[in-house]
Amino acid sequence: MKTFVQLTLAVTLAATVTASSHHHGHRHLHAKKDATKVDKREPDVVTKIVAGPTEVVYQLNDKIVNADEAKKGLDNGEYIVVGESVPSFTPPPAPSTTKDLGAQFIESKSTTTTTTTTTTPPPPPPTTTSTPSPPPSPPSSTAQAPVANAAASSDGNESSSSSGGEDVDFPSGKVKCSEFPSKYGAVAIPWMGLGGWSSIQKVADYPNALSFDNIVAAIAGETCSPGDMCSYACNPGFQKSQWPSKQGATGQSVGGIYCNSDGYLELTRTSVKQLCTAGEGGVSIKNDLDEVVATCRTDYPSSENMNIPTVAEPGQTVPLTNPSQSGYYQWQDMKTSAQYYINPKGVAAKDACLWKSPVSPDDRGNWAAVIAGVGMADDGITYISLFLNKPTSSAQPDFNMEIIGGNSQCGYHNGAWIGGSGGCTTGVAKGKTATIRYY
């Protein structure tokens, strides 16, 4: 049975940083694997970013791998990037500091080979004084279209509708596993073929296991069954609240609610009674294009597939979920933030918010041109990044984008980056708002 199995990745990146807050980020890398058992890996390392130029290094165990060879492996599907969050840096004028960067994950086709890869964080602003032409000003109209729902149905962005319910306590152990819990705020993802669930992970000996060392991911046609962790999407502005304290033995992330031996769903993080909880707010997407845009968050913790949709129809403004790095999921005691894949305009969620599009595999899903990273650090600053999905994808954005409201310029306009080279990062103080505008 073909499935995705996750392995851990230890990474070191060096990048120019002008940040002073303790802000962590990490990315997740995957490769397809025809196996059902997770390979054991060496312990992960906490990496540090120190002042200096950005560098990309590929390693196989302790051996440096040629970049062309690494890219070939990515192109052949041996290694596939699945993001979740990105390194985010405090913009100037804060002083340079040394800071931790969360470790990363990788899957490998080989059951005997461990692969260690590094990826480039959003580059620092260029040192030259020349800058590209600034983007046009947003439309002067203050009218805002109704907020789009993850369950949007027009133009093929179909999803089972959630009736809200984010404030309703989930009755643990009372709902059958065959019943998708939409009345409790969860939003079904029908294009995954898993009965509405965004992903399903079969784990052994829950809750007694100290960790899970044999995680099997469900494939299309399967449903949430006894022994499964069943993950789900939430409406924009909200995020999954459930994941077990026990995680993968070799660094895999595990998330969702549990289907017990009696066939009923149980909370896995019992301190939170609702399935979907609000993020920190303050970040939105505004679509000033004449076509729909699907922005897809990774299902994290869980499969790390980019299948959690935020759909912005033309003229709409929708919230983008902004997690607290301390208050949300932490991987091996390291803080994480959210990662979003920005797909081409005019592409329905069902054709964008998935791993690999059968229609256009080179510029959608895992191969989307641009990734956004969002998260609130302990100092109350929300960091927002936009960067090219390198080296996974060679696609280029087919529209412009900018972050309005940050404390430094960050955007992409007519083929050139504003505030960086290949990407940029800005910060938003607590209580302030920012908009990622597509135009």
Cis peptide preceding 92, ω within 30 of 0: no
Whole-number mean pLDDT of the chain? 74
Q: For residue range 263-290, what is the model confidence (pLDDT) as tens digits?
A: 999 999 999 999 999 999 999 999 999 9
- The strand pairing partners of 427, in sequence order, are 383
Query: What CATH number is attached to the domain comprising 369?
Result: 2.60.110.10
pLDDT (0 to 100) of residue 382: 97
Task: Name the residue with tokens 């970013």.
Answer: 49
Residues 271 and 295 in one domain: no
Residues 325 and 420 in one domain: yes
Domain tally, the chain: 3
Residues 228 and 368 in one domain: no
What does the alpha-carbon distance between residue 330 and residue 339 come to, in Å, rounded to a whole number? 14
Residues 286 and 329 in one domain: yes
Nearest to 336 by CA among 286, 278, 376, 384: 376
Q: What is the DSSP letter of 279?
A: -
Determine, yes or no, domain membership for 36. Answer: no
Determine, yes or no, domain membership for 77. Answer: yes
Determine, yes or no, domain membership for 153. Answer: no
pLDDT (0 to 100) of residue 214: 87
Q: Residue 42 CB: number of other CB atoms within 10 A? A: 12
Could you say which of 278, 306, 332 is where a domain stops?
278
Q: Quick one: tokens of 91?
A: 């913009």
What does the alpha-carbon distance between residue 160 and residue 7 come to, in Å, rounded to a whole number? 32
Could you say which of 259, 278, 297 is where a domain stops?
278
pLDDT (0 to 100) of residue 1: 32
Nearest to 80 by CA among 365, 366, 304, 360: 366
Q: CA 309, 313, 316, 320: dihedral to nearest 10 degrees?
A: 10
What does the alpha-carbon distance between residue 132 and residue 418 come to, in Å, rounded to a whole number? 7
pLDDT < 70 positions in the chain:
1-68, 70-163
What does the alpha-carbon distance between residue 384 and residue 396 come to, in Å, rounded to a whole number? 20
- Asked if 195 contacts 175 with a C-beta cutoff of 8 angstroms, the reply is no
Residues 218 and 73 in one domain: no
The 3-state DSSP class for residue 347 equals: coil
Residues 258 and 291 in one domain: no
Residues 237 and 386 in one domain: no
Determine, yes or no, domain membership for 107. Answer: no
Determine, yes or no, domain membership for 128. Answer: no
Q: Regarding beta strands 199-202 and 175-176, do their DSSP bridges make them parallel or antiparallel, or are they unpaired?
A: unpaired
pTM of the model: 0.70
Residues 283 and 221 in one domain: no
Determine, yes or no, domain membership for 248. Answer: yes
pLDDT (0 to 100) of residue 400: 98
**Residues spanned by the domain of 232:** 167-278
pLDDT (0 to 100) of residue 106: 29
Q: For residue range 301-310, what is the model confidence (pLDDT) as tens digits?
A: 999 999 999 9
What does the alpha-carbon distance between residue 194 and residue 221 come to, in Å, rounded to a whole number? 6
Determine, yes or no, domain membership for 418. Answer: yes
- The strand pairing partners of 66, in sequence order, are none
Residues 313 and 228 in one domain: no
Residues 289 and 429 in one domain: yes
Determine, yes or no, domain membership for 117. Answer: no
Cα-based distances in Å from 51 to 47, 89, 205, 307: 13, 11, 45, 35
Residues 204 and 341 in one domain: no
Could you say which of 257, 278, 299 is where a domain stops?
278
Instruction: Quote the Cα angle for 74-65-116, to 5°.
Output: 70
Residues 218 and 327 in one domain: no
